[in-house]
Amino acid sequence: MRIIKVGPSGLQAPVIAVGCMRINTLTKSEAERFIKSALDMGACFFDHADIYGNGICETLFAEAVGMTPAVRETLQLQSKCGIRPGIGYDFSQAHILKSVEASLKRLKTEYLDVLLLHRPDALMEPEAVAEAFGILQSSGKVRHFGVSNQNALHIQLLQKYVKQPIVINQLQLSLAHANLISQGLQVNMGNDATARPDGSTLDFCRLKDITVQTWSPLQYGTFKGTFLGNPLFPKLNEKIDRIAEEYAVSPTTIALAWLLRHPAQLQPVTGTMQVERLKDCVQAADITLSREEWYELYLAAGNILP
């Protein structure tokens, strides 16, 4: 597995991260097989969140992996906090600290490699976040910090107060959900692609050496389903299938390779709980699409160029 540097830190991780949002759909034995297979592939970076399965995902993961100090050293664990179902968002110091303690207990570990703030909190007081991060770092409970679904100004506001570098921004990005890229291409154009400016978040992250993790890399919309084999995307699937055949890999591999071809050094977060599909995802690390293939797929997905 190809290794990348994660943000402005000493952390290095596999270029493909394993998302665990759906691990609660597996039995314990199925989860054991899935995690072992991932580790055998070199995919040792696992993404969690306190709300996934209402905490069950973290608990099941720890049970399935047979968490011990020795096992823990073979893993990289990331979790997220800040979403309070039925209430909204909460970046208060008390909630961040409480959430991390609960995740550590469920994961049966003394520390997280990375903690992300999950979606922006309109009532965020960055001074409180800074205090929480300071406590977590000094106690050794969190080694690195990042955000999820936040734009350039959100990060700048946080970084004004937070001493620790923001090493990751986890954002939705795929061939069929490419707004982050499209908005950067539609400079000075009066069309729909510029109607929802994101503050050049992708370029901002590149400037600040913040690793962009892409969630739902095979999805379109927000949890609407995969675009692969979907009749809503006939032209895109035709192109993906042809290129996949030329490389002798699966369409899944090509869809992930499209993300990895971008010079931002993206780190896709998989969502599959199927070992064979995870293998296809990991294989993308060995494929480098040409510039022509990259743009061909971008256009086939319905994106436009000025």
Q: Is 48 helix (H, G, I), strand (E, B) or coil?
A: coil
Q: Name the pairing type of β-strands 83-84 and 88-89.
A: antiparallel
Q: Which helix (H) or strand (E) holds 78?
A: strand 76-81
How would DSSP label each residue in 224-271? S-B-TT-TT-HHHHHHHHHHHHHHTS-HHHHHHHHHHTSTT--EEEE-
Distance separating alpha carbons of residues 230 and 249, to the nearest angstrom: 19
Distance CA 292, CA 78 (A): 35
Structural contact between residues 135 and 32, judged by C-beta atoms closer than 8 angstroms: no
The secondary structure of residue 167, as a DSSP letter, is E
Are residues 230 and 189 in contact, defined by beta-carbon separation less than 8 angstroms? no
CA distance 269 to 259: 11
| 3-state DSSP assignment of residue 296 | helix
Place of tokens 């921004």: 169
Active-site pick, 52, 89, 220, 298:
52
C-alpha to C-alpha distance for 259 and 178, rounded to whole angstroms: 10
Q: Is 52 a catalytic residue?
A: yes
List, by residue number, the catalytic residues: 52
